[in-house]
Structure 1
C-alpha cells in the first residue's frame, strides 16, 4: 500500500509539473488510462513481492544488525532488485503505449533512449525514496510491535475504546535457575533467541505481543481473531512445537532448553494511547489480573495450559478437548472460577 500510494503521489506531482503533457516523448511513456492501470498493478505486485521477501527471508537475515545497518544493506538489495524490475516493465509499458509488439524496433529504440535519460535517473530516485519509506515503516513497526504503528497513524485508540479480547500470559519454566546458570549476558542472548523463536507463530495465528516482562510474554487477540479456528490455543501448541524443533540448538548453545506454561482468559478491556514522554497502546481491565492468576496456577495444578470458563464457553468444541480442573479461588475475585485444561485433538 505504501508503494501504491507513493507512486500515485509521485505521478501526480510529475504530471502537474509538466502540465499533464509528455514533454519528452522520445524517452517518457505517455500516461493513458491503460498505462495508469498497468503501472498501478505493476507497482502493487512489486510492493507485495518485496513485502513477502522482507517478511519471509531478508528481514530474518539482518535481524541482529543495528537499525541503520538493516536499512543500508536492504536498500542495496532492493535497489538492485528494482533496477531489474524497472528494466523489465518499461518495454512492456512502451509496447502498450505504441500499440505494438514488445519485439518492435520502436519499443527498443525508446528503451535505449530511456536508460540514458534524466527520466531513468528520476525514476530510480523515486524508487529509492519509496524503498526508504517502506523500510523505515517496517523497521519502526518491528520495534513498536505488530500493528501498533498502524494504530498510531490511524488514531484508532486516540480515544479510549472498550474491546473484548483474549489474553495469554506465557511464563518460562525454571527461568530463575537458567539465569543463575548462564549469567546475565548469556541469559540475555538466550531470552532473545527464545522470543525470536516464538514470534512467527504469534503472527501466524493473528496474535499481538502486548508486553515482554522479563521471561514472560503477554500476547493478546481481538475476540474474533482469538476464537477463530482456536487461534489462541493453536498458537500455544505451535510455539511449543517451534521450540521443540530448536531443541538441539538451545542444548548446544546454552546447555538448557526453554519451555513454558500459559494461562488464557477472555474479557472486556479499555484500550487507548497512554504516556507523556513515550506513547503506548495500553490495556486496562480485570481480565489481565485474572489471566495472570490463572497462569500462576499452572505449576501447582501441573498443567501446561489453563483457560478460563469464559474462554472455554466461547470456543467451539470441534478439534478441542477441554478437561475441567474444578472451581478455583483467584486472588482479587470473590467468586470461584472454573478452569479448564485445553488440548487440540
Structure 2
C-alpha cells in the first residue's frame, strides 16, 4: 500500500512520508493490540472445543474479514494525509476506487491471508504441543541433551479415584477438561510450562530464573486455586463436586533433551522429578495443600507477603540425605 521509494503507481499506492509512516505505525500497533485482545478474551474461548482444522478455518475467515475492514478504513485516511486533503474529498475517493480494483490491493490481501494462516498454524501447533515446545524443536535447542536447573510442581487432584467412579468415565473426561482449562491461565500468567498431564495429575515446570522470580511458582499455585474457587458454583452445579488439589514444589538439576523414535518430545530426567513427586504425596500425610523443599525456599527472593512454616526434615524415598520441608502461605 505504501512505497518507500519513488512511487511508480501514484493512482493506487501511498507515498511514504514521515506523517504517513507515523500513522501507519500507530494503526499497526492498535490493530495488533485489538487482535490480541479479541483472541484472548473471545475468539480463543469460542472455538476452544472445535477441531484443529475447523478452528483454523473459522479464525482465518474472521481475521481476514477483520483485516479487510481495517484496510478499507485506513487507506482513505492515509491517502488524505498523502494528498493533504480531506478524507471526504473527490481526489481521495478517486484514488481509493482505483486501489480496490488494483493488483496492489489483491497482493496486500493475499499477503495478509498467508501471514494470518501461518500465524494461526503456529499458534495451533504450539497450543497442542505446549508453549515454547514448538520453538524449541524448530531451534534445535534440545537436539543435544543439556543440563539445566528447573523448578517442578507436581499437582494432584484430591479424591479423584472416587470421583471418577461416581461420574463415570465419559462425564469424568469432561470434568477433567474443565478442570485443566481453569488452571491454564494461571500457568501462563506465572510463566510456567505444562510438562505432562498424567490422568488427574499435572506436572508444571519453570526455568529456574522464571520460577524463582517474584516467587512465580508459589504464586501460580494460589492463582490456580483462586481460579477454581471462582468457578466453584459451576462445578457444583454441573458435576456435583468442587475440585481441589495438592502440590509439591522442588528445584534441582535435570538433563533435558529430545527423545522418542515414533513421537518426539522434550524429556526431563533427574532426581528432582522423583523428589518432587514424593513431596507431593506428603501433602496428604501433613494435611497441607502445598509443600515446598528447602532447596527452593533458600533460593527464593524473600517477599513480605509470603511466609514459610517449617515441617522439619523428612527422609524422602530414593534420596540419601534428609530434606527440609516448608508450607508457604500468602498473606491476604
TM exceeds 0.5?
yes
Are 1:293 and 2:278 matched, yes or no? yes
Higher mean displacement: 43-52 or 308-317: 43-52
Tell me the residue number matched to 2:54.
69
Are 1:326 and 2:312 matched, yes or no? yes
Q: Residues of 2 paired with 1:282 and 1:43: CA distance?
A: 39
Tell me the residue number matched to 2:127.
142
Tell me the residue number matched to 2:330.
344
**TM-score calculated relative to the size of structure 1:** 0.89
Structure 2 regions of 5+ residues with no counterpart? none
Select which of 120, 134, 142 maps to 2:105. Answer: 120
Q: CA deviation at 1:203?
A: 0.4
Are 1:248 and 2:233 matched, yes or no? yes
The C-alpha deviation readout for 1:145-190, integer Å capped at 9, x for no partner, is 1121122222222222222111100000001001111111111111
Q: Residues of 2 paired with 1:46 and 1:277: CA distance?
A: 41
Higher mean displacement: 323-332 or 265-274: 265-274
C-alpha distance 36-158 of structure 1, shift in aligned 2 (>3 A):
farther
Q: Residues of 1 paired with 2:17 and 2:135: CA distance?
A: 33
Q: CA deviation at 1:49?
A: 2.9
Q: Residues of 1 paired with 2:57 and 2:30: CA distance?
A: 23
Q: CA deviation at 1:277?
A: 2.1
Are 1:278 and 2:263 matched, yes or no? yes
Higher mean displacement: 190-199 or 246-255: 246-255
Select which of 195, 200, 207 maps to 2:180. Answer: 195
Q: Residues of 2 paired with 1:30 and 1:158: CA distance?
A: 47
Q: Residues of 2 paired with 1:99 and 1:274: CA distance?
A: 61
Are 1:83 and 2:68 matched, yes or no? yes
Q: CA deviation at 1:52?
A: 2.8
Q: CA deviation at 1:96?
A: 4.1
Question: What secondary structure, in the 3-state scheme, does the structure 1 residue paired with 2:182 have?
Answer: helix
Tell me the residue number matched to 1:235.
220
Tell me the residue number matched to 1:57.
42
Question: What secondary structure, in the 3-state scheme, does the structure 2 residue paired with 1:171 have?
Answer: strand
**TM-score calculated relative to the size of structure 2:** 0.92
C-alpha distance 37-272 of structure 1, shift in aligned 2 (>3 A):
farther
Q: CA deviation at 1:318?
A: 2.1
Question: What secondary structure, in the 3-state scheme, does the structure 1 residue paired with 2:57 have?
Answer: helix
